[in-house]
Amino acid sequence: MNDDNLQYILTRYKIVAIVGLSRDPSKDSYKVTKYLKDHSFHIVPINPTPDEILGEKSYKNLTDMPVDIKKP
């Protein structure tokens, strides 16, 4: 993937499902997701255990996530 493709994706798509997102703030998945959320991305946590991570509803797996999820 070149820089132009990456820039296109990051400016066009603002909803990101994070599979395996940890609710532990010391974990990299949490840190990266928090950064994305703090920079205007809508995050969708995918983790079978918690009901919510970073204030967002968590789904047990990708098939549980609604297809028409929209940024609030």
CATH number at residue 53: 3.40.50.720
Is the distance from CB of 69 to CB of 41 less than 8 angstroms? Answer: no
Position 39 in a domain? yes
Give me the number of domains the chain comprises: 1
Of 49, 61, 57, 55, the C-alpha closest to 22 is: 49
Position 56 in a domain? yes
The SS3 of residue 37 is: helix
Domain membership of residue 34 as a residue range: 14-64
Position 21 in a domain? yes
Position 43 in a domain? yes
User: Average pLDDT over the chain, rounded to whole?
Assistant: 92
Alpha-carbon gap, residue 46 to 7, rounded angstroms: 25
Does this model's pTM top 0.95? My answer is no
Position 69 in a domain? no
Of 34, 29, 63, 59, the C-alpha closest to 47 is: 59
pLDDT digits (tens, 9 = 90+) for 4-38: 998 998 888 889 999 999 999 999 999 999 999 99
Element (H, E) at 15: strand 15-19
